[in-house]
Structure 1
Amino acid sequence: MVFLPQEVIIRKRDGDVLPADDIAQFIGGFAEGTVSHAQAAAFAMAVYFKDMTMPERVALTLAMRDSGTVLDWSDLDGPVADKHSTGGVGDNVSLMLAPILAAIGIYVPMISGRGLGHTGGTLDKFDAIPGYTTSPDNALFRHVVKSAGCAIIGQTADLAPADKTLYAIRDVTGTVESISLITASILSKKLAAGLGALILDVKTGSGAFMPTLENSRDLAQSLVDVANGAGLQTSALITDMNEPLASAAGNGLEVRNAVDFLTGKHQDARLKEVTLALCAELALMTGTASSAAAARQLVEDALDSGRAAERFARMVAELGGPSDFVERMDDYLAPAPIVRDIFADDEGKAIDIDTRGVGMAVVALGGGRATPTDTIDHAVGFDRLAGLGTRLYAKTPIARIHARDEASAADAEKRLKAAYRLGDTPPRNPLISASVPPT
């Protein structure tokens, strides 16, 4: 019988549960060009309004995975794992997590993305490093993973290509927020990467795509259930994004923050706790450690000994960056022309932070994209960002701004001040709200 994509659209529009074979044929046809972009947009809208059951989400994820190459790491002598964050501000965890895991014998072939909206992108951070290639060929990617233990690169053309095109369609059709479609988009790339284990960092709060804890739980549970249903051992932590995770926000500044973290020069407390908690979860999941206490000790030793910094340096060099980047970071990360402190107009404790507003201030500086074709300025952003509970007054700034010119500096300063609300009693937001174990 001839496959008619419009029949799949109609059945989902009417709220029917789609068989896995229909979903596979629809996505396969989309990847091959026999299903049009208009039909894919209609399908996405039908899913947005009628949602999908868990088996449908698994089928959609697998179909998108199978639209391209699925990597095979069976030649490696250790477990293969990765982490995914749903995005936030000052979230540079990947830059430390990958080399920490590599230092304890877990291979990390990390497929990352660019900034989206107010959130920073891991690839944009690495573009701040001169010479670093985020788009290596498959041979170099495999070599670096095997040699350095980790490689952080972008989605290649042959990894889940149906997802890349469908996401672009969702972005302009108002269907980005569907949990079913978000789940399939995230996991199809991770499944295509050939992983044995995955940890998810699902953000909640004012800087998260899912600002409420209830929505964050729903997304985390969907991701864990679908990933495990598709054969990938996965768990999740729900972590706080009611304030920037690191004290830096902006691409080059977050790279600097990460290198200082790895070398022990400066380690933001909240950032350290989330990073080590995620690493320890993967150490347990892969059998690298036999208990939670042993896993925590293992990853702390990898960081404190300097072995993680060595792995990071090797990864950067083998992907085309400077061989002495960690030692001579200041020589390679060009500073912005304008660097100055920003002070609050009043005095008091920071009791509320519009973290999305902080991220948009970075975008306004040129550190993010207002349109998909915008060029990123890797030098701009903020560092020394004050966290919740910090008393701000004439001698304690909200942050230090790094700007290209006075006009953008003035605009971003206004945005940052508006993002901070002062008072007497800051909230107590748990850093890790919940964990969702493998199902």
Structure 2
Amino acid sequence: PSPLPALIRKKRDGERLEDAEIRNFVRGVTEGTAQQGQIGAMLMAIRLRGMDAAETLALTQAMASSGRTLAWPPAWHGLLVDKHSTGGVGDKVSLALAPALAACGCKVPMISGRGLGHTGGTLDKLEAVPGFRVSQSPEEMRHILARVGCCIVGQSAELVPADRVLYGLRDVTATVDSLPLITASILSKKAAERLSALVLDVKFGEAALYPTQESARELARSLVEVGAHLGIRTAALLTRMEQPLGRAVGNALEVLEALECLGGGGPRDLRHLVTALGHPCPCATPMSLFPPRPYPHRASEPLHVPVPNVPVPQAGVTPVSLSPMSLSPRLGAPPCPCPQCPCPPRLGSPPCPCPQCPCPPGWVQQVRALPLARVLHGLGAGRARAGDPVNPRVGAELLVGTGQHLRAG
């Protein structure tokens, strides 16, 4: 095989890499023979020179084959589904959608990642829950799926180890927005999951990886095409990311808002997106996960049709769904309404802010997600280098929304 510097030079000069050369690069990443500087150089060469469809497919397959492929009982055939978002500000959809799909009869083995750039990561949010363990073996995943229908875990040494290395380095080498690297990162994990179907939330706008709808559409097309070659039924939705999704931004606060959503409450835009993304999944049978509401989006209908005698837990989380992850069922309980309650805030929520100076009356024209995300990132909600700790207590709650009228005071 060609030495890694020769492969880096080849891609740097805009040449096409052969399938065997791509497998050689991924093998060096997985086995540790490739130095971090070499990996970073290859990532930047791919970011600047790109990859064609065949190269992207070969990279995806090589990364998926770098570790163990999950195996499921035959009875689950056609029921294995997953969702992935390209990342946004306040995007806690996975935390609500995974258990919602499980309640509809799906099996959801979700392999997620940590925050990249200013966007939050699902694993970072879950680790805001005391005792939550995102590292699970394939056998433990199968046990959890059999009991509760969904699990959210991180890449391990067994599951797509090549992506675990590349994912962390993309954040610190300014290659987060590379189309072939995004495609391979997302779909290598999904291929290892042996999915039946996949729904993608591809975001565009100021606070998304891709600022324009056209560039996001190009990524969606790449994901759908490569997914089809992998044998996964893949659908993609383009959604705007100019302002935060929901009201909460920050790991601990977003977990609480996801619980509120599962209980039938929470912000309207979050509920709408959860139900819209759940619509394409083939096993998402009608169920009263959320109360029927007059949303204009027809895709939200299947999860809004009420089913008689199917109670919805008030907090959206039952003891059976918490115990497989070694958590206390008390974490899913609603907060105490008494203002004098001595109980500490759940999940280490930050204290309430002090009253601000009086403001004149007016209308809220815009709530920009990107500046807010950058401020929270600088305060510790994100990481500047791979392996940096994240402070789950850093967060913000939006008290107003676009189009809202404010009185003086």
TM range (shorter): 0.7 to 0.9
8 Å contact 2:47–2:175 — kept in the other structure? yes
Structure 1 residue ranges without an equivalent (≥5): 396-439
The aligned counterpart of 1:333 is: 347
Q: CA deviation at 1:241?
A: 1.1
Are the counterparts in 1 of residues 135 and 153 from structure 2 also a CA contact under 8 Å? yes
Report the Cα offset of residue 65 of structure 1: 0.8
| Pairs within 5 Å for 1:229-378 | 229-264=229-264, 266-283=265-282, 286=283, 296-298=301-303, 301=306, 305-306=311-312, 313-329=319-335, 332-340=346-354, 345-378=359-392
- Structure 1 position 364, deviation (Å): 4.0
Task: Measure, in 1, the Cα distance between the counterparts of 2:187 and 2:171.
Answer: 18
State the 1:370 CA deviation: 4.5
Distance 1:118 1:39, change over 3 A: closer
Residue aligning to 1:433: none
CA deviation map 1:337-386 (0-9, x unaligned): 44345578554322233211111233344333345454433334222442
What is the one-letter code of the residue matched to 1:281? P
Q: Which amino acid aligns with 1:318?
A: P
Structure 2 counterpart of 1:246, one-letter code: G
- Which amino acid is 2:249 matched to? A
In the TM superposition, residue 287 of structure 1 has moved relative to its aligned partner by 8.0
List per-residue Cα deviations over 1:240-260 (Å, max 9, x = no partner): 211111111122211211112
Amino acid at match of 1:272: R
**Which structure has the highest strand share of the two?**
1
Structure 2: segments with no counterpart, 5+ residues:
287-296, 337-342
CA contact (8 A) 1:279 1:299 kept: no
CA distance in 1, matches of 2:191, 2:32: 23
> What does 1:64-213 align with in structure 2 at a 5 Å threshold?
64-77=63-76, 79-213=79-213
TM-score by length of 2: 0.85
State the Cα deviation string for residues 192-250 of structure 1 (Å, max 9, x = none).
22222111101111221212112111111111111222222211101121111111112
For residues 300-325 of structure 1, the C-alpha deviation after alignment (integer angstroms, 9 at most, x for no partner) is: 54898417966665332220111233
Note if 1:31 corresponds to 2:30: yes
Preserved CA contact (<8 Å) 1:343 1:393: no
CA offsets, 1:128-158, max 9 Å, x none?
Answer: 2222211233332221111000111222222
1:14 aligns with 2:13: yes
Task: Give 1:55's aligned residue.
Answer: 54
Q: In the alignment, is the contact (CA less than 8 A) between 2:243 and 2:368 conserved in 1?
A: yes
SS at match of 1:225: helix
Aligned length: 389
Please give the alpha-carbon distance, in whole angstroms, between the structure 2 residues aligned to 1:336 and 1:288.
Answer: 38
TM-score normalised per structure 1:
0.80
Report which stretch shifted further, 123-132 or 193-202: 123-132
Alpha-carbon displacement from aligned partner over 1:252-274 (angstroms, at most 9, x marks no partner): 2112111121112x231111111
Superposition CA RMSD, Å: 2.9
SS in 1 for 2:403: coil
